[in-house]
Structures are given as C-alpha cells and as structure tokens.
Homo-oligomer: A and B are copies of this chain.
Amino acid sequence: MKITEYNETKIQVALDCIIFGFDQEQLKLLLIKRDFEPEKGKWSLMGGFLKAKESLDEAAVRVLHSLTGLSHVYMEQLSAFGGVNRDPVERTVSIAYYALINIQEHNHELSNDFGAKWFDVEDLPHLIFDHMDMVQEAISRLRYKASVKPVGFELLPEKFTMRQLQKLYEAIHGRKIDKRNFVKKINSMDLLIKQNEKDKNSSKKGSFLYKFDKTKYNRKSENGFTFGI
C-alpha cells in the first residue's frame, strides 16, 4: 500500500450486479435496457457508481435497491473488472456483485418502470462492455457456492418441493440429477422441515412442501458440519 508518495490518479469506480432468479425451470438473469448513450438500447447488467461515503457492499445494496426496489437480498462480491478500455467513455473499474433473488416472492416489488426483464441464462442477449465476462464468472461462482453453502434456498420460495429444489440444482449445474439419489443426499443432511402441506400444481397426487431450517444449519455449522451437494 502506498509505497510511493501521494498519487493523484483517481478513477471512476462502478458497481455491476448480476441478479440471479429461478422460475421453477431455468436459472434467470435480470437485465436492463440502457436508456442513454453509449450503447443505448442494448441490454446491460444493473449498475451504478460508488459514492465517496459508502463501502462497496453498501453501494451494491443501494444500486440494487434503486434499480429494482429490492432489499434484504443475498448479495456477495464477485471480483473487480479493470480492463483499460472496458468502458469506452471513461476509464472505469467495476466491482461486480451477484445477487440471488426469489422471483415469486419478490416479483411484486420488482416494478416494471426500469425496463428490467428476466432472461434465461442459457439464452442471453448480447450484453454491453465486459458484462458477459462478469456473467460467466458469476455463474461459475454460483456453481461453486451453491455446492458448498446453502445459498440455493435464496432462489426458492420459503416453502418448496423436493422436485423444485432438484430442478434448481439441475439449472445451476446445467445437468440432470437422479431424483432418488438427490433426495437421499438432501435427507442425509437433515436440514429440511417437511410441512403438512402439499403443492398440487404439478401433479394430482401433490408433493410435500419443505422449509430450509436455517437455525439448525447454523447450529450444525458451528459443530463442524459443512453443507455439500
């Protein structure tokens, strides 16, 4: 840190948010249509600039809130993107964050005013600047994170079926999972609370709903348990 004397080179610092959602079938990304130049009309991640009196984490929360109305959302820093010409207007370093949101429970907050739209991660439009690199890195981080921490539940409603949970993991990892083995694995962690209710949307028989037991997870974590899927 600061080996040489005071240095006047200051740079614009931006934040970009990769917002993941899950619609029961596919992993989705929330994108916004830019309404100003350059690249006006092109799809973009949600972004904004860092202010002098806020931390990066605070700024990311603010940017997400100001562009979507969402708050109390799982968010984590991905990394910094600092190619010299990544923003054609001016040298900008951008700190990318990813957020996991539960589409069904937050969709009402998500006003349409901003021209935001959900896209299937498998079928994204062209994105401005280096946003596609950010998205790639975010997917790969999400894959890792979801396999070692129970962050997947952030993408599901509070109550969900085993099949929804399985579909979520299939979407995150981009591959099919055997349902008997999946259920066995989930049950062996003993972290879900089976509800006395069924979801009858997808079958006549109906399938039981479960909740993630966060308290139990925290207790187990303290005792050396690690989530793994």
Whether B9 and A11, one on each chain, are in contact in the complex, defined by CB atoms closer than 8 angstroms, is no
Contact status of A44 and B1, CB under 8 A, knowing A49-B7, A50-B9, A84-B53: yes
Q: Which residues of B contact A46 (CB under 8 A)?
A: 3
Whether a CB of chain B sits under 8 angstroms from the CB of A95 is: yes
Q: B55, A82: Cβ atoms under 8 Å? A: yes
Do A10 and B12 touch (CB < 8 A)?
Answer: yes
Contact B3 A47 (CB under 8 A): yes
Chain B proximity of A151: nearest CB distance (Å):
16
Bound state CA distance, A195 and B93, in angstroms? 46
Indicate whether A2 reaches chain B with its CB closer than 8 angstroms: yes
CB distance from A134 to the nearest CB of B (A): 10
| Number of A residues with CB within 8 Å of any CB on chain B | 50
Collect the chain B residues with CB atoms within 8 Å of residue A53's CB: 84
Contacts of A81 in B (CB 8 A): 56
B47 and A2 form a contact (CB under 8 A): yes
> When the two chains form their complex, are residues B1 and A14 in contact, meaning their CB atoms are under 8 A apart?
yes
Q: Does A79 contact B (CB under 8 A)?
A: yes
With contact pairs A50-B93, A79-B77 given, residues A67 and B12 touching in the complex (Cβ less than 8 Å): no
Give chain A interface residues in 115-171, CB to chain B under 8 Å.
128-129, 131
Interface residues of A in 184-225 (CB under 8 A from B): none
A5 at the interface (CB under 8 A from B): yes
Please tell me if A41 contacts chain B, counting CB pairs below 8 Å.
Answer: no
| Residues of B with C-beta under 8 A to A91 | 52
**Cβ–Cβ < 8 Å partners of A51 in chain B:** 9
A128 surroundings in chain B (CB, below 8 A): 1
What residues make up the interface of A, taking CB atoms closer than 8 Å to B? 1-5, 7, 9-14, 16, 32, 34, 36, 44-57, 59, 66-67, 77-84, 87, 89, 91, 93-95, 128-129, 131
Can you list 13 A-B contacts (CB < 8 A)? A1-B45, A2-B48, A7-B49, A9-B49, A9-B52, A10-B13, A13-B13, A13-B82, A52-B91, A53-B84, A56-B80, A56-B82, A77-B79
